[in-house]
Amino acid sequence: MPELPEVEVSRLGITPWLQGQTITNIIVRDVRLRWPVPDTLQQACGRTIQHIRRRAKYLLINVGIGDIVLHLGMSGKLRVIDAQHPPVKHDHVDIVLSNGKCLRYNDPRRFGACLWQPNDVLLPLLSKLGPEPLTSDFTPQRLITLAKGKKSPVKTFIMDNDVVVGVGNIYANEALFMAGIDPRRAAGRVSAKRYQMLTQTIKTVLEKAIAQGGTTLKDFAQSDGSPGYFAQHLRVYGRSGEPCEVCDTEIKSVVIGQRNTFFCPECQR
């Protein structure tokens, strides 16, 4: 599943090809994504792309009067290719541009989304989101306040989109390791000092992943187009049974909130 860094790198990758181009056609081959692709999307035809933003894992392609809202779901991929290029299986949507290219959305599992959001209406799925982790809106104070009295595990807490968006499973595991916090600990029982540390480590793991993904950008408009998962060095994720890099203790794995969780029982308390 593409996580926040992959979506951000996709945004960086497609922006130079899309910005300033006029949309000449929108071809929808299959409307059956997570929600049906709406007819209102056609309003973007004839409009010029102003900018592309990211909110959580949504990409918002602004055409002046509104945004085309894209979500990659579990298996979605975006490619910038020649519009003449014949579509293959699961190529559901083409946004055709005046430069002869098109932004092609492929999604075998169809959990992704392609929606229309007029300027004056915020889609409900975007209006309820917590702050972006890489902005100054995401503060230790926010975690401290929201965690008060919470008995749910701290890992579940930081993966909750109401608390902060875009902290996926891999990054939650890594950030908790770097902050020395046991992922099973009740959110309400993590000290203010450690929430300060955790806020910073969440920002650090995400920034690092985006920076690493940026190195794949030159290939973005070529064959595959997907930045995929970044070959980031993971210190606990997927490493159960291996020795901890810091203390040599065996990395353990448990399931928390139906997600695989990895931690060092010595370094994380």
Residues with catalytic function: 2-3, 57, 259
Number of residues that bind Zn ion (CB under 5 A): 7
- Are the CB atoms for 4 and 77 separated by under 8 Å? no
Minimum CB–partner distance for residue 268 and Zn ion (Å): 7
DSSP 87: P
Among 37, 81, 198, 267, binds Zn ion (CB under 5 A): 267
Give me the half-sphere count of Cα atoms (radius 13 Å) on the Cβ side of residue 148. 5
Among 41, 163, 244, 256, binds Zn ion (CB under 5 A): 244
Minimum CB–partner distance for residue 180 and Zn ion (Å): 9
Residue 246 sits in the site that holds Zn ion (CB under 5 A): yes
Nearer to Zn ion (CB atom), residue 60 or residue 251: 251
Q: Which residue has the tokens 């595959």?
A: 224
DSSP 86: P
Q: x/- binding map, residues 200-239, to Zn ion, per CB under 5 A?
A: ----------------------------------------
Among 46, 247, 250, 269, binds Zn ion (CB under 5 A): 247
**Rounded distance between C-alpha atoms, residue 239 and residue 19, angstroms:** 41
Nearer to Zn ion (CB atom), residue 116 or residue 262: 262
Tell me the window of 87-95, 102-110, 226-234, 243-251 that interacts with Zn ion (CB under 5 A).
243-251
Maximum pairwise Cα distance, the chain: 60
Residue 266 sits in the site that holds Zn ion (CB under 5 A): yes
Among 73, 5, 25, 2, CA closest to 211: 5
**Rounded distance between C-alpha atoms, residue 48 and residue 205, angstroms:** 35
- Partners of 28 in the beta sheet? 93
Residue 265 sits in the site that holds Zn ion (CB under 5 A): no
The residue with its CB nearest to Zn ion is 244
Among 4, 3, 2, 5, CA closest to 213: 5
Chain residues binding Zn ion by CB under 5 A are: 244, 246-247, 249, 264, 266-267
